[in-house]
Chains A and B, each alone.
Chain A
């Protein structure tokens, strides 16, 4: 028996996820342009693995396989997790990342829509704790050709000094630890580009462009990226104004690491994030604050993933406390 409404907007989960994949393309293009095509190998591997794991788990759970694979949510998770980790990690790290994100973080909690934590960030955090060395080997812009990257991905021997360069956040951390000021660290290091890390600023710009696509197609609302960017800019700007020698500028923070990927693609995960308008602002601002704290004072170069997981924990409370007033129950209604 079908009840009203009998008409539906042409919308589907598949369309939402497809839009997210399309929106990732500008950032991905910049990535390949600046750092080589190795990322594509891991991306392809992760996509295939994600679909396989999704299908396998759905089969084990005796749920419709085609519907789950067709919704593209597994592919989105796979892409996000690959874009979060270094592009030259060996293939088994990529595989592990997909298994953790989809097999554990998503399906152990009940599959699509049920996971309290962002699957890509769960995988990222698990791997950076388990394989800190492999997870921090980022190539510099134009440092490795495709053949070298492919060799590393397929498990070739690694000489960290030869294949990677310190990222901007790493270089800043190391420089600050040695007592230098921000200015001297920046001036003598090839890791820094125009705004953030060399090459990475273009990738960040690409992600931001993709974010505009998501906003334009109403897949996301302005609340999450705006609150994330604003909080990161305000808190880093405040300390930068107080002491520019000891703190990097807001622009550097926004253009470095995964800030733009996070602002438009990670914190905007609807399943594990806050849902009310005010809740979204709190959630994203909280992530930005934690990320800045870890970047500035923590042991890890970037803290967005931890920020996301910590704020995921707070989501039920945030949502509960930020329920918008219902029609007719607003204050000042006479």
Chain B
């Protein structure tokens, strides 16, 4: 028996997991319309590769990863692209996101599949393959998986942690996946282990899922892998990556550090399964397991194509009439959806159907009595009530000093607060204020730097010009001193150079300017047509006869000082 470690705090809300695990995973039918958002991972937004009116096949790339910190997006089924346009995002903001709208043709025909033997493929190629298969962290954070498939600095990973804890109430998608597809998860984990060069693999599962633990143990034995399935105490948020790493290894990964710095990497079980599907079957990530629970008649897990409108999935479970909204995720950290028809995305582990009876609005906020319940519940060892006081007073500096940014927004503090204070909202407010201020500050810093650099540049150019002029003057002076005469035009002034260097300089400059003018100024007497030339000659002849001929100028015959003014 492995000795486990504790993390501070945590809460034990009613798990509400039994109802949705009584039936196996059901494949959701093809919806009449799929809305596939292009941006479904942390990082860059993929560019659309399809246009309206184009036919696509199942698994066809429709959005290419934008740079390395991004992940590809694929057509979930075969059909017709009816539009590439902004559509409502599965996010509380209610903002839209460029999405590919596909009308399925019902054939569900696969594109040509690309498989890979991971053992004979170089790691770089494997990572690109995973990126192009659109695989992201399916625990909800949707961090591109290929970016995590790197061993740490030493080229080895001590521990690969597979996260099957699933600590949030109501959510059972990982539980059901482990029960039904344990072999695939273990095979995917073996691939991840190969890439990470991991010494040990620990599969952490909360002990309220004995069926999943057993299924995974059986699969590990059947695959002949040396991985350890560890049942961990059920306590929210044991499924947070940092909490799970702490429980299994005793290592605490501080805020702002990567677990790989400590020789640990952590993946969700669903992600491992997706890696297996991509490499072994060639299937890119176009569907996922989604729990539908809450205010429905038949809570259940479905295998849902990415892009399926949530209401189409919930309908299968029998949505009750007093439903007020959908939440994506669980009741502790879930996000309120801006509508019922927002699409299922890669981050959708659970559609929690809410009603006022199931999740009543919180009682009115009361004064904080500093009872410290929140501090006893905080898994990050923070003093949440202090952060609350600082946030309320907009004392953001102090809030940061008390490690506001170590808060993982798990909601434990607000869950236990006897004064019903929406504590997490206060922290979100403070964090966004601090980010906004930092943005403002960096914008004004940039403006100031630009201004200062401009001043510096102007100053520098002035100096450079002066230096250049001085050098030139010195050069000319030296030249004049050694060469008595230059050319015909400057001959007379240059003769005085020996007596007065300054005068000589001026004369030289004048001569140079004159020569330049002569060379640069276009003359309206150049390239004349035959008639004009004849006319000019007539005028010249007339002038000569009247004695008005201009003073001799540089050849050819000048047109007088007023000539430039008459130019068009």
Closest to B376 in A: A221
Q: Does A62 contact B (CB under 8 A)?
A: no
Beta-carbon nearest neighbor of B262 in chain A: A334
The stretch among A198-206, A229-237, A250-258, A318-326 that forms the contact with chain B is A318-326
* Contact between B372 and A275, CB atoms less than 8 A apart: yes
Taken residue by residue from 1 to 22, chain B's Cβ proximity to chain A (1 for < 8 Å, 0 otherwise) reads as 0000001100101000000000
| A330 CB within 8 Å of chain B | yes
Contact B8 A327 (CB under 8 A): yes
Near B by CB (< 8 A), chain A positions 31-78 give 64, 67, 71, 73
How far is it, in angstroms, between the C-alpha of A67 and the C-alpha of B531 when the chains are bound?
Answer: 105
Contact among B246, B262, B402, B422 for A3, CB-based, below 8 A: B422
> Which of A8, A270, A323, A330 is B370 in contact with, Cβ under 8 Å?
A270
Cα separation A1 to B251 with both chains bound (whole Å): 37
Residue B58, interface by CB 8 Å:
no
Q: Dominant SS at the B interface? A: loop
By a CB distance below 8 angstroms, the chain A residues around B371 are 16, 219, 270
Residue A4 interfacial (CB < 8 Å): yes
- Contact check: which of A73, A221, A330 meets B252 at CB < 8 Å? A330
Indicate if the CB atoms of A13 and B327 lie closer than 8 Å: no
CB distance from B212 to the nearest CB of A (A): 23
What distance in Å separates the Cβ of A329 from its nearest Cβ neighbour in chain B? 6
Question: With A and B bound together, what is the CA distance between A333 and B414 in angstroms?
Answer: 29
> Is B519 close to A, CB under 8 A?
no
Q: Which of B44-52, B187-195, B359-367 contacts A (4 or more CB under 8 A)?
A: B359-367
B380-406 residues with Cβ-Cβ distance < 8 A to A are 380-383, 385-386, 402-403, 406
A325 to B402, CA, bound (A): 10
Closest A residue, CB atoms, query B332: A5
A6-B331, A112-B367 known; A15-B375 Cβ under 8 A = no
Q: Does A245 contact B (CB under 8 A)?
A: no
- Flag whether B336 is at the interface (Cβ < 8 A): yes
Contact of A5 among B372, B415, B418 (CB under 8 A): B415
Question: Is A12's CB within 8 Å of the partner chain B?
Answer: yes
Q: Mark A293-334, 1 if CB is under 8 A from B, else 0.
A: 000000000000000000000000001000111111110011
A7 in the interface (beta carbon within 8 A): yes
Contacting residues of chain B (418-433) with chain A, CB-CB under 8 angstroms: 418-420, 422, 424-425, 428
- Which residues of the partner chain A approach B425 to less than 8 Å between Cβ atoms? 3
Alpha-carbon gap, A333 to B253, bound state (A): 9
Residues of B within 8 A of A324 (CB): 381, 383
Give Cα A270–Cα B406 distance, bound, in whole angstroms: 25
Q: Using Cβ atoms and an 8 Å threshold, which residues of chain A touch B7? A: 327
Which residues of the partner chain A approach B363 to less than 8 Å between Cβ atoms?
12
Chain B residue numbers with a CB within 8 Å of A319 are 386
Pairwise interchain contact B370-A326, C-beta atoms closer than 8 A: no
Q: Does A2 contact B418, Cβ atoms closer than 8 Å?
A: no
* Closest B residue, CB atoms, query A315: B370
Count, chain B residues at interface, CB 8 A = 62
Residues of A within 8 A of B336 (CB): 1-3
User: Which of A4, A11, A325 touches B331 (beta carbons < 8 Å)?
Assistant: A4
Question: What are the residues of chain B within 8 A of A3 when measuring CB–CB?
Answer: 92, 336, 422, 424-425, 428
A7 x B359 contact (CB < 8 A): yes
For B333, what are the chain A residues with a Cβ–Cβ distance below 8 Å?
A: 4-5
Q: Which of A16, A111, A113, A327 contacts B379, CB < 8 Å?
A: A327
B257 at the interface (CB under 8 A from A): yes
Query: Please, which residues of chain A bring their CB within 8 A of the CB of B554?
Result: none
Given A11-B416, A11-B418, A327-B406, also A271-B8 (CB < 8 A): no
How far does the Cβ of B42 sit from chain A's closest Cβ, in whole Å? 20
CB atoms of A328 and B370 under 8 A apart: no
Q: Which residues of A contact B414 (CB under 8 A)?
A: 5, 8
Within 8 A of B (CB), among A201-260: 219, 221
Q: Are B381 and A325 in contact (CB under 8 A)?
A: yes
Q: Report the Cα distance A215→B246, complex, angstroms.
A: 29
A8-B425 Cα distance, complex, nearest whole Å? 14
**Shortest distance in angstroms between B19's beta carbon and chain A's nearest beta carbon?**
16
With contact pairs A5-B414, A11-B417 given, residues A112 and B331 touching in the complex (Cβ less than 8 Å)? no
Known contacts A276-B383, A326-B403, A327-B379: A8-B362 contact under CB 8 Å: yes
**Are the C-beta atoms of A333 and B367 separated by less than 8 Å?**
no
Among B509-533, those with CB < 8 Å from A are none
Interface assignment of B127: CB less than 8 Å from any CB of chain A: no
A-B residue pair count with CB separations less than 8 angstroms:
141
Cα-based distance from A271 to B368 in the complex (angstroms):
8
What residues on B are CB-neighbors of A328 within 8 Å?
A: 242, 252-255, 257, 406
Which residue of B has the minimal Cβ distance to A71? B366
Q: Shortest Cβ distance from A88 into chain B, in angstroms?
A: 32
Name the one of B254, B369, B415 contacting A329, with C-beta atoms under 8 angstroms: B254
Contact A5 B254 (CB under 8 A): no
Pick the most buried of A5, A273, A330: most chain B CB atoms within 10 A of its CB.
Answer: A5
Would you call B164 an interface residue if the criterion is a C-beta within 8 Å of the partner chain's C-beta atoms? no
A9 at interface, CB cutoff 8 A = yes
Residues in B with CB closer than 8 Å to A273 are 370
A329 nearest CB neighbor, chain B only:
B254
Interface assignment of A189: CB less than 8 Å from any CB of chain B: no
Question: A114 near B: Cβ within 8 Å?
Answer: yes
Contacts of A67 in B (CB 8 A): 364, 366
CB contact between A12 and one of B257, B379, B420 (< 8 Å): that residue: B420
Q: Cβ of B362: which chain A residues have Cβ within 8 Å of it?
A: 2, 8
Closest CB of chain B to A194's CB: distance in Å? 36
B252→A323 contact, CB < 8 A: no
Give min CB distance, A21 to chain B, whole Å: 15
Q: When the two chains form their complex, are residues A6 and B366 in contact, meaning their CB atoms are under 8 A apart?
A: no
B339 at the interface (CB under 8 A from A): no
CA of A319 to CA of B494, assembled, Å:
89
- Separation in Å of the B181 CB from the closest CB of chain A? 29
A275 touches B418 (CB 8 A): no
A299 to chain B, nearest CB (A): 33
A6 contacts B369, CB within 8 Å?
no
Distance of A8 Cα from B362 Cα, bound (Å): 8
The reply to whether the CB of B104 lies closer than 8 angstroms to some CB of chain A is no
Q: A2-30 vs B: 1/0 string, CB under 8 Å?
A: 11111111011101100000000000000
Q: How far is the CA of A8 from the CA of B332 in the complex (A)?
A: 9
Pairwise interchain contact A9-B11, C-beta atoms closer than 8 A:
yes
Which of A15, A323, A326 has most chain B Cβ within 10 Å? A326
The winner among A1, A9, A112, A325 for most chain B CB atoms within 10 A is A9
B419's nearest neighbour on chain A, judged by CB, is A13
**Apart from A11-B417, A11-B418, A275-B372, 12 more pairs, CB < 8 Å:** A4-B331, A4-B333, A5-B415, A5-B424, A7-B169, A7-B359, A13-B419, A16-B369, A221-B372, A275-B370, A326-B382, A327-B380
Give me 6 A-to-B residue pairs in the complex whose CB atoms sit less than 8 angstroms apart, sorted by A's number: A11-B416, A12-B420, A67-B364, A271-B369, A275-B383, A329-B254
* Chain A positions near chain B (C-beta within 8 angstroms): 1-9, 11-13, 15-16, 64, 67, 71, 73, 111-114, 219, 221, 270-271, 273, 275-276, 319, 323-330, 333-334
Shortest beta-carbon contacts, A-B, top 6? A328-B254, A5-B411, A113-B367, A6-B359, A11-B418, A328-B252
Binding site for A on B (CB under 8 A): 7-8, 11, 13, 92, 169, 242, 246, 251-255, 257, 262, 327, 329, 331-336, 354, 359, 361-364, 366-373, 375-376, 379-383, 385-386, 402-403, 406, 409, 411, 414-420, 422, 424-425, 428
